[in-house]
């Protein structure tokens, strides 16, 4: 299938994959650098974790308003402007003189993130023929997985040896290189007709879209209750050394590529089974997180299954979001998905911080697992039946 894509279709698709890589590397870098940032600013790890929560909440609040304002702009102009703003935010993060300045810089990056993930999937499917749309979406999500394999761990390595600030600076350099590349290869793709605020009730009255939004919140909340604190969990609960933490994070992301591959191979033929399986696996690994920490090999295996399941969920529900609404509303619908997903990230990180502060870091998996079980029940008994009736 891949060989039938032309070079003009491959080049921007590769650019979108690299852009997804740097955006997700940036979003999750504080996870791998949490301890270093906390030590530098003399704050607790829970307060450092608020960098992740605030970033996510900013994306949640800004995704829909920014896309409504930008709905008339072509995907090309919007994409290039977004990458430029992203690079500027990384530079400001690198030179932050205090916690407040770093937080402000992260909010600037969040603005770019809010727009990018609203247009990434719709833009990717527009630059390829219709029969390659699932493949195009899996390519974009593969960029996310590669960020978990190399981006987050490499950021952590850079942070360990030359300081966490250099990690943000390196991302800025890559961002500006991607900006130049995309300026040459990304075609003129219109963003569709203007979408107005008064048309939102049409989306909000769609029961499938509402169900997708709720699922994005529940699963993201479950996932990030644990994942936001995976670095200190591996060090303090599983008793991993620094190098083994980095290797485990790389394997986590590598397994995400398998999740993306399974989506491209299985989803179209076994849509509902694939949806159930991805969410069920997330619940299982969250609940097994603490028991698995007793042995090195079980901890690594659980992390790999975790990465595979979450990536499979993400690409599946992005696809479902695009299917649930008219084409002209796809970017706005994706902004809603991204916004609520990031609300889940922020709430999950906050819940994980409460568990770490008032109970024990070892219990973050149980807290997230409860949310994931609720998600399974809702999906199986309410959402999937609604999808079948549509």
Which pLDDT tens digit goes with each residue over 48-63? 878 877 887 888 888 7
pLDDT at site 287: 95
Work out the pLDDT band at 234, boundaries 50, 70, 90.
very high
Tell which wins on pLDDT, 218 or 359.
218
CATH number of 2-389: 1.20.1250.20
pLDDT at site 366: 94
Q: Is the model's pLDDT at 2 over the cut of 50?
A: no
Give the Cα separation of 135 and 9 in Å (integer).
12
pLDDT at site 211: 94
Which of 226, 357, 197, 350 shows the shortest CA–CA distance to 284?
Answer: 226
Work out the pLDDT band at 265, boundaries 50, 70, 90.
confident
Work out the pLDDT band at 4, boundaries 50, 70, 90.
confident
Judged by average pLDDT, the poorest of 4-18, 129-143, 167-181 is 129-143
Q: Is the model's pLDDT at 29 over the cut of 80?
A: no
pLDDT at site 33: 78
Give the Cα separation of 25 and 28 in Å (integer).
6
Which pLDDT tens digit goes with each residue over 63-92? 778 877 777 778 888 899 999 999 999 999
| Section 114-138 average pLDDT | 81
Q: Is the model's pLDDT at 382 over the cut of 60?
A: yes
pLDDT at site 172: 93
pTM (two decimals): 0.76
Which pLDDT tens digit goes with each residue over 134-161? 788 778 877 776 776 676 667 777 777 8
| Section 175-188 average pLDDT | 92
241 class by beta-carbon count within 10 Å (0-12 exposed, 13-18 middle, 19+ buried): exposed
Q: Is the model's pLDDT at 292 over the cut of 90?
A: yes
pLDDT at site 152: 66
Residues in the chain: 390
Q: Is the model's pLDDT at 197 over the cut of 70?
A: no
Are 155 and 54 contacting, i.e. CB atoms less than 8 angstroms apart? no
Work out the pLDDT band at 105, boundaries 50, 70, 90.
very high
Long-range residue pairs from 102-107, CB within 8 A, at least 24 positions apart, any chain: 102/37, 102/41, 102/51, 103/50, 103/51, 103/54, 106/30, 106/51, 106/54, 106/55, 106/58, 107/54, 107/55, 107/58
Are 136 and 125 contacting, i.e. CB atoms less than 8 angstroms apart? yes
Tell which wins on pLDDT, 147 or 310.
310
| Section 198-212 average pLDDT | 81
pLDDT at site 1: 43
Are 46 and 361 contacting, i.e. CB atoms less than 8 angstroms apart? no
| Section 4-33 average pLDDT | 84
């Amino acid at each position: 299938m891949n060989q039938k894509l032309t070079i003009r279709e491959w080049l921007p698709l590769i650019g979108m994959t690299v852009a997804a890589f740097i955006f997700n590397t940036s979003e999750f870098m504080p996870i791998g650098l949490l301890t270093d940032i906390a030590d530098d600013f003399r704050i607790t790890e829970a307060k450092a974790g608020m960098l992740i929560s605030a970033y996510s909440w900013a994306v949640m609040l800004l995704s829909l308003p920014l896309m409504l304002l930008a709905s008339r702009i072509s995907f090309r102009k919007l994409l290039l402007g977004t990458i430029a703003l992203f690079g500027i935010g990384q530079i400001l993060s690198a030179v932050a003189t205090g916690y407040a300045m770093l937080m402000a810089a992260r909010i600037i990056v969040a603005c770019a993130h809010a727009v990018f993930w609203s247009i990434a999937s719709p833009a990717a499917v527009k630059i390829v023929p219709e029969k390659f749309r699932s493949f195009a979406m899996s390519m974009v999500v593969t960029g996310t997985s590669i960020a978990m394999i190399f981006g987050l761990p490499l950021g952590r390595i850079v942070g360990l040896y030359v300081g966490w600030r250099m990690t943000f600076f390196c991302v800025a350099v890559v961002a500006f290189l991607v900006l130049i590349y995309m300026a040459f290869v990304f075609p003129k793709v219109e963003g569709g007709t203007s979408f107005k605020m008064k048309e939102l009730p049409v989306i909000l009255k769609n029961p499938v879209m509402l169900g997708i939004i709720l699922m994005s919140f529940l699963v993201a909340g479950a996932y990030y209750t644990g994942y936001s604190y995976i670095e200190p969990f591996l060090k303090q609960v599983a008793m991993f050394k620094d190098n083994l933490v980095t290797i485990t994070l790389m394997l986590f992301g590598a397994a995400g590529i398998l999740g993306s591959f399974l989506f491209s191979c299985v989803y179209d033929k076994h849509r509902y089974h694939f949806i159930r399986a991805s969410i069920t696996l997330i619940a299982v690994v969250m609940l097994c997180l603490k028991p698995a920490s007793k042995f090195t090999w079980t901890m690594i295996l659980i992390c790999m299954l975790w990465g595979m399941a979450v990536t499979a969920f993400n690409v599946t529900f992005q696809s479902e979001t695009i299917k649930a609404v008219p084409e002209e509303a796809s970017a706005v619908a994706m902004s809603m998905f991204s916004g609520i997903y990031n609300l889940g990230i922020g709430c999950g990180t906050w819940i994980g911080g409460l568990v770490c502060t008032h109970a024990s870091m070892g219990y973050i998996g149980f807290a997230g697992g409860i949310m994931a079980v609720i998600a399974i029940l809702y999906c199986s008994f309410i959402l999937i039946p609604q999808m079948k009736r549509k």
